[in-house]
Structure 1
Amino acid sequence: MVALIAIAAAATGMAVHQHLTAREAERVAEARELALLGVASRVTEPYAAVALGVAAVRIHADDQTRTALVDTMVSERQAIFRGTDIVAAIAISADGRTALVADQNQGVALWTLSPSGRPDGRLDAIRAGVLESQGGEVRAVALSLDGRVALVSAGEGFATLWNTTDREHPARLATLEGGSVRHVALSGNGKTALIGHDDGNVAVWDLAQPSRPVRVAALATHRSVLRSLGLSADGRIAVTVRERASTVWDLSDLARPIQGGGLDTADTASAAAALTADGRTALVGSALWDVSNPTRPQRLTSLPDVEHMVVSAALTSNGGFAMTGEAGGRTVVWDLRDRARPSRIAVLKAPVTQVDEVALNADGNIALIGTPKWGVFSWDLTGLSGDPFHDLCGGGRTGLSITRAWWSHFTKSKPWPDSFGDRDSFEPCA
C-alpha cells in the first residue's frame, strides 16, 4: 500500500510539473507573438508597438522579448538631419549639442542639436554655419571636445583648421599642407592634430598657436594603407590602424613620438579605432585593449556577435559605452562597464545598408550615424539602462493599457491572450 501511495504521489507530481511546463510554454509563445506584433507595428502604430512590447516582457522576459522592446524604444527616438545626403564624415562635441557634417552635395557645416520636447524623445537638428560650401573632396572631419575647434580634410592635399566658437560664423584659422588627406584626428583641447595621408604617412601637428600650426613629427612611414586614426582627448596616446598592423604611439613629447606595441587585430575585423579620454583604453575593430602601457598593450576582450568588418567606432570618455558601425550597415551601441562581459544595449536601425561613420558624445546619450545615400541619423539614448521594462514603465508610460476592444480591432479578432487574464483590460506597467 505504501508503495502504491508513493507511486500515485509521484504520478501526481509529474502531472503537475507537466502542466506547469505546458503552461509556461504557452506563456513563452504568447509573449513572443506579442513581441513580433509589436515589431510589425513600429511604423504604422507606434503606441501599439510600445504597448505590445512591454506586455511581452511583462508576460515572459527573455532575450527575444527584451531585444524587441529595446529596438522599439530606440526606433521611436530616431531622427534625421534634414537636407543631408551623401555624407562622408561626421563628428560631435562632448556635450552632444554640436555636430560637424561633411556632405558631398551640401558642403561642410555645423549643426546644433537640441531636445525636441516631443514625447518620442527625438532630437531637433538645425544647420548653422558653413565651413566649406563644396564637400565633394572632404574625407574626414574632427571636433574638439567643446566644439570650438574643427579640423577638415580636403582631397587637394591639405586640411583646414577652424574656430567654431560662433556656430553661425565659423572662421578659418590655418591651412595644414602635406599631401592628400585620408584621415584626421584632433585632441580634446584642439591643440594636437594627426593627419593621415594617402601615402600612409601620419603627420603630427602642434596647434598650440592655431593661426600658426607647426608640423613637428611623423609616425613612421609605412607602405600599407592607413585605415583609421585614434587620438586620446589629452593628445598623449594615438593608435594607427593599417592593413597589416595596428600600433600604439606615445605622444607625450610631440616632437619625439615613441612607437609602442603592436595590436594583433587579424581576427577582429579592424578598420576603425577609438580611444577613451585618458588614453588608457582603445577599441580597435571589435577588440578592446588596455593601452595604459603603450609599449605593452593588453587585449581585454572582444565584442560578441560582430557580423562584419567594423568600419567606424566611437567610445565614451570613460569607456563605459561604445558604438560600432559595420560594413553591412549594422550599428550597435555597447555596454562596456563590465569589461569581461561586454553586452549589446541596442541596434540602431535606419533604412540603410551602409554606414560609413558613427559618432557618440562623451556620456553616450547622443548617437549619430552618417550614410552615403540617406544623410545623417540621430538618436537620443538618454535613460536607456539595459532594462527596457524599467525604462518605459518608470519613465512616464505608466498609462499604457490594452483593452479587449482595442485588441479585437488591432488583431482582427484574435482571441484575448490567457496571459492577460479575465479582466477587460491589461495594464502592462501596473
Structure 2
Amino acid sequence: MNARWRTLAVALTWLLSVFLVIGGLAWQRTYERAATQERVALAHGLALHAAELRDADPGTARKLGTAAVGIHSDEQTRAGLIDTMIDIYGETLPPETPYEVTVSGDGRIALTSDGHETNVLDLAPWTDQEATEEPGRIPTLKGHKGRSVNTTALSFDGRTALTGDDGGITTVWDLADPAEPARLATMTAGRITEYTNGVKKVALSRDGRTAVIVDHDGVMTVWELADRSRPKRLSTTRSNPVPIRDFALSADARTAVVVDDRRKVAVWDLAAEQPVKVAGLDLDMEFSQSATRTAMSADGHVVLVQRAGRIEIWNLADRAHPVRHTTLDVSFDKLYGTYDMSLTPDGKRVLLAGPGDSGVLWDLSTPSRPVRSAALNGHTREIGSVALGAEGRVALMAGSSGVSFWDLTDLDEIVADPKGASCRRYDAEISEAEWARYAGDADWSAYKSEDADSVSVCRTDWWS
C-alpha cells in the first residue's frame, strides 16, 4: 500500500507541476499580450499627438513621432513619423494664389499661373544648399493680351516654356535667363468656337524640339521647334469627336495619351507623318464614367489614369496592347476626386493631389505593388496642381493657399528607416511633464534610464 500511495503522490505531484507550468505559461502569455497592447496603444497615442502638433510645434511632433516608432514600429507609427519629418522640408513660395504649377525636369525652373499671370520662379535659392542669394524679382510672362492662360509646359532643362490661352494661342518663351524671359513666337491651336475655351493642354518633348498643342475640342497639333522663333507645324489631327479632359506626352514625343469628355482613354502614335490612334484602354463602365486625369513616364511605358478614388496603372511597352498593372486605391487619402498628378520621368514615383489639404507620394518601383511613401502637408485648403522635378527630389503644390516647395532629397532614407533618420539628425528627450501630458497613464519608469529624469527618444531597448 505504501508503494502504491507513493506512486500516486508522485503522479499527483507531476500533474500539479505540469498544471503550474501550463498556468505560468498562460499567465506569461496573457501578461505579454497585455503589455504589448499597452505599448501599441501608447505608441499610437503618441503618433496621434505628433500628427496634431505637426504644424504648430514641429519639434515636439518629431520627438513624439520618434518615440512612437521606438516603442512600437508598425505601419501607422512609421507613416506618422515619415510625414512629420518630410514636413520639415516644406516651405511656402510666392506668389500667393496660383492654380497651376509646372517644374522643369531638372528641378531648376518653375512656372506658376493664376489664369491671369504666369510667373517664372528660379528655384536655385531653395534647391542649391550652397546658394547664398535671396530669391529675386519674379518675372511675369506677358504677351497674351488680356486672355486667360489655361495651361503651361517646360522643357526638361527649363530653357523653353509654352503658355496656352483661351483664345487658342500658344506662346513660345526663352527662359535661358529666368530673370529676363524672351517671347519668341506664337502657335495657333485648332478651331475655336463659342463652345470651346481655347488651348486645353500643351506639352514639350524632353529636348524641347517638339511641341504638342491640344485644344478643348480635341484638335491635336504637332509642331517642330528646332528653330524656336520659327515653329513649323507638322500635323493637325482631330483626336476626339468630343472635348478632352487631359493629355500626356512621352519624352520623345512619339506616344500620347488622351482622355476625352466621355471618359475614354486613347493611345496615339505621333511618330508618323499623320498621327495614328493605336489603342484604347479597356476600361470597365464604372471606370470609364469617371476617368479625368492621366500621366506618363518619359519612355511612354507607364501610364496612370485617374478615376474617383482610384488610379489605374498601365503598361504601354506594347502600345497596341496596353496591359493593366493594378488599381491604386487613394480614397482614404481624401483623394476621391484627384485634381492632379505628376509622375517622375522613370515612372517610379507619383505625387497626387485633390480635395484634401495634402499631396500624397506613392512609390511605383514595382508597378503591380504600389507603396504609399509620404504625405506632403502644408495647405489649409484643396490643392489643384502638383509637379515633380529632378527625378522626384523636388515637389511643388499649388492651391488656394499658395505654392509649397518640398526638398525630397532625403525621402528614400527617411522612408527606409524613419527612426534612424530622425536620430541621426538629433537625439531629443521627453521630460516628465511632457510624458504626463502626452503619454496618459503609461508608466514613466518603464521607458527611461534608472537615474535619468527624461526619456531619450532614440533608445532602442525600451521594450526589452
TM-score by length of 1: 0.90
Which residue does the alignment assign to 1:23? Answer: 35
**Counterpart residue identity of residue 401, structure 2:** W
Shift of 1:390: 2.8
User: Using the alignment, how far apart are the partners of 1:10 and 1:193 within structure 2?
Assistant: 76
Shift of 1:43: 2.7
Which residue does the alignment assign to 2:287? Answer: 267
Query: Given the alignment of the two structures, is residue 420 of structure 1 paired with residue 442 of structure 2, yes or no?
Result: no
Query: Given the alignment of the two structures, is residue 403 of structure 1 paired with residue 431 of structure 2, yes or no?
Result: yes
Which residue does the alignment assign to 1:109? Answer: 119
Moved more, 40-49 or 316-325: 40-49
Query: Given the alignment of the two structures, is residue 227 of structure 1 paired with residue 241 of structure 2, yes or no?
Result: no
Which residue does the alignment assign to 1:429? Answer: 458
User: Using the alignment, how far apart are the partners of 1:301 and 1:250 within structure 2?
Assistant: 24
Residues 13 and 101 (structure 1 numbering): CA distance in 2 closer, same or farther, change over 3 Å?
same
Q: How does 1:331-410 map to 2 (within 5 A)?
A: 331-371=359-399, 373-385=400-412, 386-387=415-416, 388-394=418-424, 396-397=425-426, 399-404=427-432, 407=435
**Match for residue 202 of structure 1 among 205, 220, 227:** 220
User: Using the alignment, how far apart are the partners of 1:234 and 1:117 within structure 2?
Assistant: 27
User: Using the alignment, how far apart are the partners of 1:71 and 1:136 within structure 2?
Assistant: 40
Residues 335 and 104 (structure 1 numbering): CA distance in 2 closer, same or farther, change over 3 Å?
same
Shift of 1:327: 4.2
Do 2:357 and 2:379's aligned partners in 1 also have CA atoms closer than 8 Å?
Answer: no
Compare the two structures and name the one with the higher helix fraction: 2
Which residue does the alignment assign to 2:110? Answer: 99
Query: Given the alignment of the two structures, is residue 83 of structure 1 paired with residue 83 of structure 2, yes or no?
Result: no
Shift of 1:366: 1.0
User: Using the alignment, how far apart are the partners of 2:44 and 2:143 within structure 1?
Assistant: 50
How many residues get paired?
A: 420
Which residue does the alignment assign to 1:277? Answer: 298
User: Using the alignment, how far apart are the partners of 2:107 and 2:135 within structure 1?
Assistant: 11
User: Using the alignment, how far apart are the partners of 2:320 and 2:96 within structure 1?
Assistant: 42
**Partner SS for 1:139:** strand
**Partner SS for 1:392:** helix
Shift of 1:252: 2.2
User: Using the alignment, how far apart are the partners of 2:364 and 2:268 within structure 1?
Assistant: 24
Residues 114 and 249 (structure 1 numbering): CA distance in 2 closer, same or farther, change over 3 Å?
same
Which residue does the alignment assign to 2:265? Answer: 246
Q: Deviations over 1:110-141 (max 9, x none)?
A: 1011365999xxx9865533212778601110
User: Using the alignment, how far apart are the partners of 1:327 and 1:236 within structure 2?
Assistant: 33
Shift of 1:356: 1.8
Q: Deviations over 1:82-103 (max 9, x none)?
A: 2331x23221112212101112
Shift of 1:159: 0.7
Residues 25 and 133 (structure 1 numbering): CA distance in 2 closer, same or farther, change over 3 Å?
farther
Do 1:368 and 1:376's aligned partners in 2 also have CA atoms closer than 8 Å?
Answer: yes
Which residue does the alignment assign to 1:37? Answer: 49
**Partner SS for 1:130:** coil
- Percent identical: 34
**Counterpart residue identity of residue 265, structure 2:** S
**Counterpart residue identity of residue 140, structure 1:** T
Residues 53 and 419 (structure 1 numbering): CA distance in 2 closer, same or farther, change over 3 Å?
farther
Moved more, 272-281 or 326-335: 326-335
Query: Given the alignment of the two structures, is residue 326 of structure 1 paired with residue 326 of structure 2, yes or no?
Result: no
User: Using the alignment, how far apart are the partners of 2:39 and 2:204 within structure 1?
Assistant: 53
Moved more, 416-425 or 65-74: 416-425
Q: Which has more radius of gyration?
A: 2
Which residue does the alignment assign to 1:185? Answer: 203
Do 2:42 and 2:439's aligned partners in 1 also have CA atoms closer than 8 Å?
Answer: no
Alpha-carbon RMSD: 2.6
Which residue does the alignment assign to 2:326? Answer: 301
Shift of 1:150: 0.2
**Partner SS for 1:17:** helix
Which residue does the alignment assign to 2:70? Answer: 58
Shift of 1:242: 1.4
Which residue does the alignment assign to 1:8? Answer: 20
Which residue does the alignment assign to 1:46? Answer: 58
User: Using the alignment, how far apart are the partners of 1:374 and 1:209 within structure 2?
Assistant: 39
**Partner SS for 2:124:** strand
Shift of 1:172: 1.1
TM-score by length of 2: 0.84
Residues 349 and 126 (structure 1 numbering): CA distance in 2 closer, same or farther, change over 3 Å?
farther
User: Using the alignment, how far apart are the partners of 1:117 and 1:189 within structure 2?
Assistant: 22
Which residue does the alignment assign to 2:4? Answer: none
User: Using the alignment, how far apart are the partners of 1:291 and 1:118 within structure 2?
Assistant: 36
**Partner SS for 1:15:** helix
Residues 69 and 4 (structure 1 numbering): CA distance in 2 closer, same or farther, change over 3 Å?
same
Do 1:92 and 1:143's aligned partners in 2 also have CA atoms closer than 8 Å?
Answer: yes
User: Using the alignment, how far apart are the partners of 1:374 and 1:353 within structure 2?
Assistant: 6
Which residue does the alignment assign to 1:150? Answer: 161
Do 2:429 and 2:457's aligned partners in 1 also have CA atoms closer than 8 Å?
Answer: yes
